[in-house]
Amino acid sequence: MEKPLGATLGRSGTHPAPGRARVVILDFGSQYTHLIARRVRECRVFSEVERYDTQADELGEDVSAIILSGGPSSIWSDDSPSPDPRIYELGVPVLGICYGMQAMSHALGGKVSPGETREYGPMRFEGDASHPLFSGVEGQTLVWMSHGDEVIEPPPGFEVLGRSADGKIAAIGSDERQLYGLQFHPEVVHTERGGDIVSNFVHGIVLVGAMVALGKADSTLGMVIGFFGVVLAAGNAVGGYVVTERMLEMFKASRERK
């Protein structure tokens, strides 16, 4: 089938140094894909854009996370684009945005319904502020919607993490599998706290998750993680996240030397 417009190979900068976080964005033809890459770079993390049909074994062993972009297609179209289902088994965090959330839900056993009308424009949204994805994003906030289909039931093992003002599912997640979905576009300026939500995913889920995984195998790192939690609690999130990435590099390097 013909690939969606915009689903072309592109990189935002050179390849990261060994040990640095690397987020791959799979492009389903969204006009906002380059904005997702920019938002990730604003988190001081390397990002690159690949075609939506890039195979899991082509992403590289150093991939830290995957983001599925939005796109103009409907899940119910005969030629609807789908990612390699093996990406959900790589053990790295995956965030589906708009069509990306629908594609993930459909592939993993959720229910996606063809929308009667296309929802386009601003919408009030409220997420679970106790979840890392929405840390610091309390109460209702304005988000940007652009979709026809909608997820009416998340896949088994997922929970609803947020709803729009009209009660529709707008955010889902499975912490056990590190798979998450947003029905809205956090990458655009029309989403009031979009930058914070992307930062929460990159820093609070991807980097911290990687540290915890290493900490289970390294008692010294486990103690450092405890200290880092104090840093975040003190409110120095931006500086703390930069330190997180640097610590992750150092401990990966130290483990490789053993």
159 catalytic, yes or no? no
Which stretches of the chain are DSSP H helices? 33-42, 99-107, 194-199, 208-215, 219-233, 237-257
Q: Do the beta carbons of residue 160 and residue 170 sit within 8 Å? A: no
| Cα–Cα separations (whole angstroms), residue 211 to 56, 76, 150, 217, 224 | 23, 39, 34, 10, 9
Task: State the Cα–Cα distance between residues 102 and 198, nearest whole angstrom.
Answer: 18
Please confirm, yes or no, whether 98 is among the known catalytic residues. Answer: yes
Contact by Cβ (8 Å): 15, 53:
no
Q: Give backbone dihedrals phi and psi of 144, rounded to 5 degrees, phi first.
A: -110, 120
Number of Cβ within 10 Å of residue 257's Cβ equals 6
> Is position 147 annotated as part of the catalytic site?
no
* Residue among 247, 227, 231 nearest 239 (CA): 231
Other Cβ atoms within 10 Å of 211 Cβ, number: 21
Tell which residue, 128, 194, 191, has the closest CA to residue 161: 128
Nearest to 13 by CA among 41, 50, 51, 43: 41
Catalytic residue among 98, 126, 150, 245: 98
Amino acid at 28: F
Catalytic-role residue among 106, 131, 147, 185: 185
The single residue of 48, 50, 119, 187 carrying the catalytic annotation is 187
Helix (H) / strand (E) containing 78: none
Active site residues: 98, 185, 187
